[in-house]
Amino acid sequence: MTGGPAPGYVWTCPAPAWDNMFRNLLDAAGLAARAARAETILIKPNLVNAHEPPVTTPVGLVAALVRYLRRVTGARILIGEGTAAAEHDTWQVFESLGYVELAQSEKIELIDLNSEESVALTRPDCRRWPDMHLPAIALESFLISVPVLKAHTLAGVTLSLKNMMGLAPPAHYQQGSGWKKAAFHHRIHEAIADLNRYRLPDFTLLDASVGMAESHLWGATCQPPVGLLAAGSDPVAIDAWGCGMLDKNWQEIGHINMLHGELGQAEPLQVVPLGPQVSQRSPRKTVTYRECGMTTSKTPRTD
DSSP string, the chain: ----S-TTEEEEEESS-TTHHHHHHHHHTTHHHHHTT-SEEEEEE--SSSPPTTSS--HHHHHHHHHHHHHH---EEEEEE----SS--HHHHHHHTTHHHHHHHHT-EEEETTTS-EEEEE-TT-SS-SEEEEEHHHHHSEEEEE-EEEEETTTEEESHHHHGGGGS-HHHH--TTS-TTGGGGTTHHHHHHHHHHH---SEEEEEEEEEESS-SSSSPBPSS---EEEEES-HHHHHHHHHHHTT--GGGSHHHHHHBTTTB--SS-EEEE-S----S---SS-EEEEETTEEEEE-----
Is 92 among the domain residues? yes
| 189-212 average pLDDT score | 98
pLDDT at 240 over 80: yes
pLDDT at 223 over 90: yes
- Per-residue pLDDT band at 272 (split at 50, 70, 90): very high
| 54-70 average pLDDT score | 96
> 63 or 287, which is more confident?
63
| 234-238 average pLDDT score | 98
Long-range contacts of 297-302 (CB under 8 A, 24+ apart): 300/244, 302/247
The lowest-confidence range among 15-24, 85-94, 143-152, 216-225 is 15-24
267 CB-near residues (< 8 Å, 6+ apart) = 8, 240, 250, 260, 285, 287
pLDDT at 278 over 80: no
Q: Which pLDDT score, from 0 to 100, does residue 302 have?
A: 30
Is 4 among the domain residues? no
Q: Which pLDDT score, from 0 to 100, does residue 187 have?
A: 96
Is 99 among the domain residues? yes
Is 129 among the domain residues? yes
Q: Which pLDDT score, from 0 to 100, does residue 16 have?
A: 77
Is 2 among the domain residues? no
| % of the chain exceeding 90 in pLDDT | 81
The lowest-confidence range among 80-89, 222-231, 246-255, 271-280 is 271-280
Q: Which pLDDT score, from 0 to 100, does residue 299 have?
A: 30
Is 277 among the domain residues? yes
Q: Which domain holds residue 97?
A: 9-298
| 42-51 average pLDDT score | 95
Whole-number average pLDDT of the chain: 89
Q: Which pLDDT score, from 0 to 100, does residue 17 have?
A: 64
Number of compact structural domains in the chain: 1
Q: Which pLDDT score, from 0 to 100, does residue 178 have?
A: 76
Q: Alpha-carbon distance 145 to 163, whole Å?
A: 7
Q: Which pLDDT score, from 0 to 100, does residue 281 have?
A: 56
Contact criterion met (CB below 8 Å) for 46 and 147:
yes
> 90 or 302, which is more confident?
90
Q: How many CB atoms lie within 10 A of CB 126?
A: 18
Q: Alpha-carbon distance 97 to 165, whole Å?
A: 20
Of 87, 138, 132, 133, nearest to 112 by C-alpha is 138
Q: Which pLDDT score, from 0 to 100, does residue 276 have?
A: 67
Is 206 among the domain residues? yes
Q: Which pLDDT score, from 0 to 100, does residue 282 have?
A: 55
156 CB-near residues (< 8 Å, 6+ apart) = 243, 248, 252, 253, 254
Q: Which pLDDT score, from 0 to 100, does residue 269 have?
A: 96
Q: Alpha-carbon distance 111 to 77, whole Å?
A: 11
Q: Which pLDDT score, from 0 to 100, does residue 6 have?
A: 77
How do residues 104-122 score in pLDDT, each as one tens digit? 999 999 999 999 999 999 9
> Cis omega before residue 224 (within 30°)?
yes
- Per-residue pLDDT band at 293 (split at 50, 70, 90): very low
| 82-100 average pLDDT score | 93
| 35-44 average pLDDT score | 96
> What global pTM score does this model have?
0.90
Is 81 among the domain residues? yes
Q: Which pLDDT score, from 0 to 100, does residue 86 have?
A: 83
pLDDT at 261 over 50: yes
